[in-house]
Amino acid sequence: MKTILLYSVAIFTFLISQNINAQIQVNSFESLKDKMSTAPKPIVIFVHTDWCMYCKNMENTTFKNSEIVQNLNNNFYFVSLNAESRKRITFLNNDFNFQPNGHKTGVHQLAKELATVNNKIGYPTLTILNAKYEIIFQQQSFLSAKQLSKILKKLS
């Protein structure tokens, strides 16, 4: 009986540690061209900033959920885009750059393209593109794991 209990505890501990260590495979925009040509999948883009508390909350809860991690890794390409990144990004044969709009402030051009809804940009924004790079879903708000799971299931 003790042996069975020890094995059960060991297996349970192993399974828990696997879920805790599971991480979303984050892709760059530049890597998508090759990946999409060989294995097309919808693209999930998380547009965020460093100062956005809702963004940080999504990163620390929603995107740590084992079901979300598994679904994103298996059925989508995931890209994380800091809307205030100063890095040039080449995507769909276009170069996108940071655009300053004040002293030490600004927004990346690609973030504007992907996170603008009703002429307003907001954070966090989740944008999903199909295999033709068309926006098929866009939402500006915190999404819980349960909410995101429903969205991903509909799209996969």
Q: What is the pLDDT of residues 56-68, one digit of tens each?
A: 999 999 999 999 9
Helix (H, G, I), strand (E, B) or coil at 121: strand
More confident residue, 103 or 2: 103
Q: What is the pLDDT of residues 8-39, one digit of tens each?
A: 545 555 555 444 567 999 999 999 999 999 99
Asked if residues 145 and 66 have their Cβ atoms less than 8 Å apart, the reply is no
Residue 134: count of CB within 10 angstroms of its CB: 8
Q: What is the pLDDT of residues 76-92, one digit of tens each?
A: 999 999 999 999 999 99
More confident residue, 1 or 5: 1
Q: From residue 138, give the alpha-carbon distance in Å to each of 5, 95, 133.
A: 48, 22, 13
The pLDDT assigned to 142 comes to 98
> Apex CA 51: angle with CA 21 and CA 96, to 5°?
90
More confident residue, 148 or 155: 148
Confidence category of residue 3, pLDDT binned at 50, 70, 90:
low
Q: From residue 21, give the alpha-carbon distance in Å to each of 15, 17, 18, 152.
A: 10, 6, 5, 21
The pLDDT assigned to 104 comes to 83
The pLDDT assigned to 22 comes to 79
Beta-carbon contacts of residue 31 (< 8 Å; ≥ 6 apart): none
Question: Where do the domains of the chain lie, and which CATH numbers do they carry?
Answer: 26-155 (3.40.30.10)
Q: What is the pLDDT of residues 89-128, one digit of tens each?
A: 999 999 999 999 988 899 999 999 999 999 999 999 999 9
β-strands 77-82, 43-48 pairing = parallel
Helix (H, G, I), strand (E, B) or coil at 153: helix
- Taking the whole predicted model, whether its pTM rises above 0.75 is answered as yes
Summarize the confidence of residues 139-143 as an average pLDDT: 97
